[in-house]
Amino acid sequence: MFGVPNRFIMNRTKRCSLLVNKFFRWGNYKPYNVSLVSTINRACHNTTFGQPVHSTHPHLINPGEVLTGISLKEVKHRRQTFLHALRDFAALQLGAATNHIVIIPSANKKYMSHKIPYVFRQNTDFLYLSGCQEPDTVLVLEVDANSNCKNTLFVRPKDRIAEMWDGPRTGVQHAQDVYGVEESYNINFLKDYLTKYGFANPNSIFWYDEKASDLVNVSKIIKDVTNNQTKSPIELIQSLRLIKSESECLLMQKTCEIASKAINKTLENSFPGISEHEIYANVDYYTRIYGANFLAYPPVVAGGSNATIIHYINNNQIVKGGELILMDAGCEYHGYTSDITRTWPVDGKFSDPHRVLYEVLLQVQQELLDCLQFQGGETLDQLFDTMCTKIGKYLQEIKLIPSSLSALELSRAAYKFCPHHVSHYLGMDVHDTPLISRNIRLCPGMVCTVEPGIYIPTHNLDVPPEFRGVGMRIEDDVLIKPGKEIEILTKECVKDTTLVEDLVSCKTRGSLS
């Protein structure tokens, strides 16, 4: 019922017809040779794919890889690990072994206006377990009480007209080889497949999260088949994504290296009178020149008092001499993201008040990096509490916060200067694995940001005038390693006061490019 449509149509191409005719003339057609006929047919079909593979993009995909830097073997291992973890989790929660089926949809194409699409970005939970970069696709994973696992991918069928407009599709015939699944079917067969599974396994648990799905039709199918009785698998998937493999760590190193170089070049090309938009254009340009696919998010490029708006993305003002620029930017490199913030004087010289604040912030960030995995930095929430204490202490020293406050009052006062968290997880998404608590102990393989900031709006009359209208943040990306070690993945992005001034003033032009 769920076989490949037109499997035995032999007249796909002249070459295919010749091969099949010769095959029949040799008298080899027997029931057990049907699979060979099918293999010939698949081989002769137009071998285009919905994403880069080694045969079409050897400069991007190495032999054995399904995604740049990620082997098919690793993706298959992820699926196996997830299903075993799901079975164990359910057994603990339910007290008995049972059958499970997990439905994980891809993203769909989104449009900015009629027929004008946005750049497609895959659902990262789906991508992590499938390796598939195509829209309108569904991964179905099954595990039974005996730990037998099965992986099935439902994809868009090959369609010559649609592919002429929107590009190649991998199709049903090649999906098993490309993505390493046991079975593949036309996406239109999904409802029949799930209905059949439900009848055959009446006590099974369906795992699906409608809130995490862009595919409205799939959500309707799941509701019809399950009577809306499902459990969400997303937190469990994200708990696996939280710990990066060796291959993922290499990709994180690369995306952070690219962003660091691009931001250094952007500093180097700053000058009084430059527009925030031009700075945006520079960092976008250099990330792509150095190998990124695109920026990971709309960057914050905030000159002067605009930097006190934490999520300022208008990026349309002129930066005047004497003002600071705060830029929060990162890139995506083959599915993995970086996230960096730097603050610098547009004319290459910190004013005295700016220097005082900047060196306070730099000191706070360094102390936070030093305590990662130690007391005060064993979890991201602990790190946030530590940041508030340290910012409060140093702002007291420069007399921006009264010295008579209790410890609790001091933290509250510091929070007014930095009203955002100091860290988040980082990986395939910028705010990665959002369902995972920030109050769990850091462990090897995690990647997080460390990003203290100080923001003083122009209307804050409790500080001297020279500090008003100033916003600054310093953000680096950190890999947690064994033995309470860390690797600052963005260490090549300048932040030392003198180096920043020299780079913007072009005194070190060429040495950091």
Q: Provide the residue ranges of all domains of the chain, joining segments of one domain with +.
A: 1-45, 48-240, 242-504
Do 263 and 290 touch, CB atoms closer than 8 A?
Answer: no
What is the distance between the alpha carbons of residues 58 and 47, in angstroms, rounded to a whole number? 15
- Average pLDDT over every residue of 396-421: 95
The yes-or-no verdict on residue 438 having pLDDT over 80 is: yes
The yes-or-no verdict on residue 66 having pLDDT over 70 is: yes
The yes-or-no verdict on residue 10 having pLDDT over 50 is: no
- Average pLDDT over every residue of 229-245: 97
Percentages of the chain per state (helix, strand, coil), in multiples of 5: 40, 15, 40
Q: Which two tokens stand for residue 92?
A: 């603990």
In this predicted structure, what is the pLDDT of residue 40? 38
- The model's confidence at residue 45, banded by pLDDT at 50, 70 and 90, is very low
Residue scoring higher pLDDT (44 or 488):
488
- The model's confidence at residue 227, banded by pLDDT at 50, 70 and 90, is confident
- Which one, of 156, 143, 217, 146, lies nearest residue 185 by Cα? 156
In this predicted structure, what is the pLDDT of residue 506? 73
Q: What is the DSSP letter of 432?
A: -
The yes-or-no verdict on residue 242 having pLDDT over 60 is: yes
Residues 6 or more apart in contact with residue 92 via CB below 8 angstroms: none
The yes-or-no verdict on residue 456 having pLDDT over 70 is: yes
In this predicted structure, what is the pLDDT of residue 466? 97
Residues 6 or more apart in contact with residue 390 via CB below 8 angstroms: 364, 367, 368, 452
The yes-or-no verdict on residue 19 having pLDDT over 60 is: no
- Average pLDDT over every residue of 35-46: 45
Q: ∠ CA 122-128-134 to the nearest 5 degrees?
A: 35
- The model's confidence at residue 231, banded by pLDDT at 50, 70 and 90, is very high
Do 429 and 238 touch, CB atoms closer than 8 A?
Answer: no
CATH of 242-504, one of 3.90.580.10, 3.90.230.10, 3.40.50.970, 3.30.300.30: 3.90.230.10
Do 234 and 126 touch, CB atoms closer than 8 A?
Answer: no
Do 345 and 358 touch, CB atoms closer than 8 A?
Answer: no
What is the distance between the alpha carbons of residues 239 and 287, in angstroms, rounded to a whole number? 30
- Average pLDDT over every residue of 231-246: 98
In this predicted structure, what is the pLDDT of residue 212? 87
Do 329 and 340 touch, CB atoms closer than 8 A?
Answer: yes
Do 339 and 474 touch, CB atoms closer than 8 A?
Answer: no
Do 257 and 287 touch, CB atoms closer than 8 A?
Answer: no
Question: What is the phi-psi region of residue 379: left when phi exceeds 0, alpha when psi lies from -120 to 50, beta otherwise?
Answer: beta
In this predicted structure, what is the pLDDT of residue 8? 32
What is the distance between the alpha carbons of residues 72 and 57, in angstroms, rounded to a whole number? 16
Q: Which two tokens stand for residue 55?
A: 């045969």
In this predicted structure, what is the pLDDT of residue 513? 47
The yes-or-no verdict on residue 287 having pLDDT over 80 is: yes
What is the DSSP pairing of strand 149-155 with strand 183-186?
Answer: parallel
What is the distance between the alpha carbons of residues 98 and 84, in angstroms, rounded to a whole number? 12
The yes-or-no verdict on residue 253 having pLDDT over 60 is: yes
The yes-or-no verdict on residue 508 having pLDDT over 60 is: no
What is the distance between the alpha carbons of residues 264 and 333, in angstroms, rounded to a whole number? 18
Q: ∠ CA 437-311-316 to the nearest 5 degrees?
A: 160
- In a 3-state reduction of DSSP, which class is residue 476? strand
- Average pLDDT over every residue of 1-29: 39
- The model's confidence at residue 376, banded by pLDDT at 50, 70 and 90, is confident
The yes-or-no verdict on residue 286 having pLDDT over 60 is: yes
Residues 6 or more apart in contact with residue 41 via CB below 8 angstroms: 7, 8, 9, 10, 12, 16, 20
Q: What is the mean pLDDT of the chain?
A: 91
What is the distance between the alpha carbons of residues 169 and 154, in angstroms, rounded to a whole number? 12
Residue owning tokens 């377990």 = 129
Domain 48-240 top-level CATH class: alpha beta
Percent of the residues in the chain that have a pLDDT greater than 70, as a whole number: 89
- Average pLDDT over every residue of 5-34: 40
Do 491 and 499 touch, CB atoms closer than 8 A?
Answer: no
- The model's confidence at residue 46, banded by pLDDT at 50, 70 and 90, is low
Tens-place pLDDT, residues 167-224? 999 999 999 999 999 999 999 999 999 999 999 999 899 999 998 888 889 999 999 9
What is the distance between the alpha carbons of residues 11 and 479, in angstroms, rounded to a whole number? 54
- Which one, of 175, 171, 120, 125, lies nearest residue 151 by Cα? 175
What is the distance between the alpha carbons of residues 494 and 500, in angstroms, rounded to a whole number? 6
Tell me the whole-structure pTM to 2 decimals.
0.89
Phi/psi at 301 (5° precision): -125, 95
Residues 6 or more apart in contact with residue 95 via CB below 8 angstroms: none
Phi/psi at 439 (5° precision): -115, 25
